[in-house]
Structure 1
Amino acid sequence: MILSGTQCAELSDAEIIRKSLEQVDYFSCLYQRYGPRLLQYIRRISSYSEEEAEDLLQDAFIKIWKNLNAYQPSLKLSSWLYRIVHNQVISSWRKQHGQQTSFALNDRDQFPDTLTEDLQYDDSGEEQMERLQQAIGDLPDKYKEVVLLKYFEDMNYEEISDILKIPEGTVATRLNRARQMMAKYCKKSSTKIR
């Protein structure tokens, strides 16, 4: 039996985990709550087709199910789920392409206001947004992944730290360096930066 969205909405994350361990039907609540966001994240950081991204999400949820009893309540559930999905994407990519990883920013992505504000971005025309997309695309992966998690997934430093298993200070440093690189790229490309 799959529980309704209303039934799932009434449960906290901790209750979903506890009840899922007791009765498999409650696991569907986890999928209903986090599946769409995790799928969007997979599509955002990879160049996989819609079908491949959905397959990857299913594989990730199988892994989540198998490791549900290993979840530590001291971690934020969403961070734990994103870390599993993130690792699944990297693992899948490496199987297909060797050790080199590459995170993609897809055309369907909208640029969050917080990103353009942090870069003190003056213009919002299509050409300028393309330059900004190229600037993000040209970032080394370790900087791109923190930009995507911070600005496109709206996560805080602690959550990013949990997902990537790096200290919060490293998250801050990578974000700062990424902003500097993007500003430099945009300046070189004649994009208006204050």
Structure 2
Amino acid sequence: MIEQEQAKILNSELNVVYKYLRKHGISHVDAQDIVQETAFKFLSYSDSIKSQNIRGWLIRVALNYHHDQYRKKKRIKLGFNDEHLKLLSKDLPEDLLLGNEKKEEIQATLARINPQYKELILLKYYWDLKYKDISILLDMKIDTVKTNLHRARNQFIKFYKEVKE
């Protein structure tokens, strides 16, 4: 009986994770795969999970899995036909170099800032998460997220200016 209640609780939490993923633009099929993988990891590691916030743990695992899958898909090389090459050739080499230079500056800056601040900046600006979502994922109060994000932005600006010079 207790296992059935735990299964119901896990199922409802996984439904929340699914809705969370769909809300952030992940396709139905991908969200189902991610939830299935998350459930498998939860069942595999349930004895060693220290977090009291199971929902936060499940969302974190789901997002990490999604990020890993995204990176793997990104590495797959796509074949280009002539139309693609014509579209790509419209970008001037100078523009491409400036874009790469800007990316390198941002990466160098992110490498220098506090790891907690780096995580907040990436969650907010790279993954476009709201304060509430970040507070759930990191198990923080929303005001703490806002304060730390403000500090993170200030530290980022300070180091970015140094990198630019």
TM-score between the two structures when normalised by the length of structure 2? 0.49
Higher-Rg member (1/2): 2
User: Could you state the TM-score of these two structures normalised by the residue count of structure 1?
Assistant: 0.42
Decide which structure has greater helix share: 2
